[in-house]
Protein backbone atom coordinates (compact mmCIF):
# COMPACT_ATOMS: atom_id res chain seq x y z
CA UNK A 1 0.00 0.00 0.00
CA UNK A 2 1.37 3.36 -0.97
CA UNK A 3 1.69 6.28 1.33
CA UNK A 4 -1.01 8.14 -0.59
CA UNK A 5 -3.46 5.24 -0.23
CA UNK A 6 -2.81 5.04 3.51
CA UNK A 7 -3.45 8.76 3.89
CA UNK A 8 -6.76 8.49 1.98
CA UNK A 9 -7.79 5.49 4.10
CA UNK A 10 -6.99 7.37 7.31
CA UNK A 11 -8.90 10.44 6.09
CA UNK A 12 -11.94 8.29 5.26
CA UNK A 13 -11.83 6.62 8.68
CA UNK A 14 -11.66 10.00 10.42
CA UNK A 15 -14.56 11.29 8.33
CA UNK A 16 -16.69 8.30 9.31
CA UNK A 17 -15.75 8.74 12.94
CA UNK A 18 -16.75 12.41 12.78
CA UNK A 19 -20.18 11.51 11.35
CA UNK A 20 -20.86 8.98 14.07
CA UNK A 21 -24.04 9.50 16.09
CA UNK A 22 -22.37 8.71 19.42
CA UNK A 23 -23.01 11.40 21.97
CA UNK A 24 -20.34 12.60 24.31
CA UNK A 25 -20.94 11.83 27.96
CA UNK A 26 -22.52 14.70 29.88
CA UNK A 27 -19.95 17.08 31.32
CA UNK A 28 -19.05 16.53 34.95
CA UNK A 29 -19.76 19.40 37.29
CA UNK A 30 -16.65 21.47 37.90
CA UNK A 31 -14.87 20.77 41.15
CA UNK A 32 -11.80 22.41 42.54
CA UNK A 33 -9.05 20.55 44.31
CA UNK A 34 -9.66 22.61 47.44
CA UNK A 35 -13.37 21.68 47.51
CA UNK A 36 -12.49 18.01 47.16
CA UNK A 37 -9.87 18.31 49.90
CA UNK A 38 -12.32 20.13 52.19
CA UNK A 39 -14.94 17.40 51.68
CA UNK A 40 -12.34 14.72 52.41
CA UNK A 41 -11.39 16.61 55.59
CA UNK A 42 -15.05 16.75 56.64
CA UNK A 43 -15.48 13.02 56.05
CA UNK A 44 -12.31 12.21 58.00
CA UNK A 45 -13.43 14.47 60.86
CA UNK A 46 -16.80 12.74 61.02
CA UNK A 47 -15.17 9.30 61.09
CA UNK A 48 -12.40 10.09 63.58
CA UNK A 49 -14.24 12.68 65.68
CA UNK A 50 -11.32 15.07 65.27
CA UNK A 51 -11.41 18.73 64.34
CA UNK A 52 -9.94 20.20 61.18
CA UNK A 53 -10.14 23.75 59.84
CA UNK A 54 -12.93 22.95 57.35
CA UNK A 55 -15.07 21.40 60.10
CA UNK A 56 -14.54 24.38 62.43
CA UNK A 57 -15.55 26.84 59.69
CA UNK A 58 -18.59 24.70 58.80
CA UNK A 59 -19.82 24.40 62.41
CA UNK A 60 -19.37 28.09 63.19
CA UNK A 61 -21.21 28.99 59.97
CA UNK A 62 -24.05 26.61 60.81
CA UNK A 63 -24.35 28.43 64.15
CA UNK A 64 -25.05 31.65 62.24
CA UNK A 65 -21.62 33.19 62.74
CA UNK A 66 -19.79 34.96 59.92
CA UNK A 67 -16.44 33.23 59.40
CA UNK A 68 -13.58 34.51 57.27
CA UNK A 69 -10.35 32.57 56.85
CA UNK A 70 -7.50 35.10 56.77
CA UNK A 71 -5.10 32.55 55.33
CA UNK A 72 -2.54 33.73 57.89
CA UNK A 73 -0.41 31.45 60.01
CA UNK A 74 -0.09 32.40 63.68
CA UNK A 75 2.11 31.27 66.58
CA UNK A 76 1.37 31.30 70.30
CA UNK A 77 3.91 31.00 73.08
CA UNK A 78 3.85 27.51 74.59
CA UNK A 79 2.23 25.82 71.61
CA UNK A 80 4.45 23.60 69.50
CA UNK A 81 2.69 23.97 66.17
CA UNK A 82 1.54 26.91 64.05
CA UNK A 83 -2.11 27.84 63.94
CA UNK A 84 -4.54 29.40 61.49
CA UNK A 85 -6.20 32.76 61.99
CA UNK A 86 -9.93 33.05 61.36
CA UNK A 87 -12.18 36.03 61.89
CA UNK A 88 -15.49 35.13 63.53
CA UNK A 89 -18.13 37.84 63.41
CA UNK A 90 -15.39 40.49 63.56
CA UNK A 91 -13.19 38.91 66.23
CA UNK A 92 -9.93 36.95 65.85
CA UNK A 93 -9.96 33.21 66.47
CA UNK A 94 -6.66 31.30 66.41
CA UNK A 95 -6.97 27.58 65.62
CA UNK A 96 -4.33 25.06 66.63
CA UNK A 97 -5.29 21.64 65.34
CA UNK A 98 -3.27 18.67 66.55
CA UNK A 99 -2.95 15.22 64.97
CA UNK A 100 -4.58 13.72 68.09
CA UNK A 101 -6.10 14.61 71.45
CA UNK A 102 -3.01 13.19 73.16
CA UNK A 103 -0.73 15.58 71.26
CA UNK A 104 -3.06 18.46 72.11
CA UNK A 105 -2.98 17.52 75.83
CA UNK A 106 0.80 17.82 75.94
CA UNK A 107 0.75 21.39 74.59
CA UNK A 108 -2.35 22.41 76.56
CA UNK A 109 -0.57 21.48 79.80
CA UNK A 110 2.12 24.07 78.96
CA UNK A 111 -0.34 26.90 78.27
CA UNK A 112 -0.51 29.81 80.69
CA UNK A 113 -4.24 30.53 80.72
CA UNK A 114 -4.22 32.83 83.74
CA UNK A 115 -5.55 36.24 82.70
CA UNK A 116 -3.18 39.17 82.96
CA UNK A 117 -4.83 41.67 85.33
CA UNK A 118 -3.34 44.55 83.31
CA UNK A 119 -5.28 43.44 80.21
CA UNK A 120 -8.83 44.84 80.00
CA UNK A 121 -11.47 42.07 80.22
CA UNK A 122 -12.66 42.54 76.62
CA UNK A 123 -9.13 42.01 75.31
CA UNK A 124 -8.27 38.90 77.33
CA UNK A 125 -7.91 35.71 75.31
CA UNK A 126 -10.35 32.90 75.93
CA UNK A 127 -8.91 29.41 75.57
CA UNK A 128 -11.19 26.76 74.10
CA UNK A 129 -9.86 23.22 74.36
CA UNK A 130 -11.83 20.48 72.64
CA UNK A 131 -10.70 17.11 71.31
CA UNK A 132 -7.60 17.72 69.18
CA UNK A 133 -8.23 21.50 69.06
CA UNK A 134 -6.97 24.51 70.97
CA UNK A 135 -8.67 27.76 69.96
CA UNK A 136 -7.81 31.20 71.27
CA UNK A 137 -10.58 33.77 70.91
CA UNK A 138 -10.45 37.47 71.76
CA UNK A 139 -13.68 39.46 71.80
CA UNK A 140 -15.28 42.06 74.07
CA UNK A 141 -18.71 40.55 73.28
CA UNK A 142 -19.62 38.03 75.96
CA UNK A 143 -22.51 36.54 73.96
CA UNK A 144 -20.25 35.95 70.94
CA UNK A 145 -17.55 34.39 73.12
CA UNK A 146 -20.09 31.99 74.63
CA UNK A 147 -21.51 31.06 71.22
CA UNK A 148 -18.08 30.25 69.77
CA UNK A 149 -17.16 28.24 72.85
CA UNK A 150 -20.45 26.33 72.77
CA UNK A 151 -19.99 25.44 69.09
CA UNK A 152 -16.44 24.21 69.60
CA UNK A 153 -17.02 22.29 72.84
CA UNK A 154 -20.46 20.74 72.23
CA UNK A 155 -18.97 18.13 69.92
CA UNK A 156 -16.47 16.90 72.50
CA UNK A 157 -18.41 17.51 75.69
CA UNK A 158 -17.30 14.18 77.13
CA UNK A 159 -13.64 14.45 76.04
CA UNK A 160 -11.08 15.43 78.70
49-160 adopts what CATH topology?
Protein Transport Mog1p; Chain A (3.40.1000)
pLDDT in tens, 10-25: 555 444 444 444 444 4
More confident residue, 135 or 9: 135
- Whole-model pTM: value is 0.67
pLDDT in tens, 95-127: 999 999 999 999 898 888 888 888 888 889 999
Measured CA to CA, the distance from residue 95 to residue 68 in angstroms comes to: 13
Q: Are 107 and 127 within 8 A, CB to CB?
A: no
* Domain-wise residue ranges, the chain: 49-160
pLDDT of residue 86: 97
Measured CA to CA, the distance from residue 144 to residue 44 in angstroms comes to: 28
Q: Which of 128, 144, 148, 158 is nearest to 60 (CA)?
A: 148
pLDDT in tens, 21-51: 444 444 445 455 666 655 555 554 444 568 9
Amino acid sequence: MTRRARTRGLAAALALLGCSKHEAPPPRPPSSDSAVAAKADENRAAQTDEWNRAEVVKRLGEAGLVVTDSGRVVHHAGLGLPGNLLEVSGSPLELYIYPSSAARKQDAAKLDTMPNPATPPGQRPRYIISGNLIAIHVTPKEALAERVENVLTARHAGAP
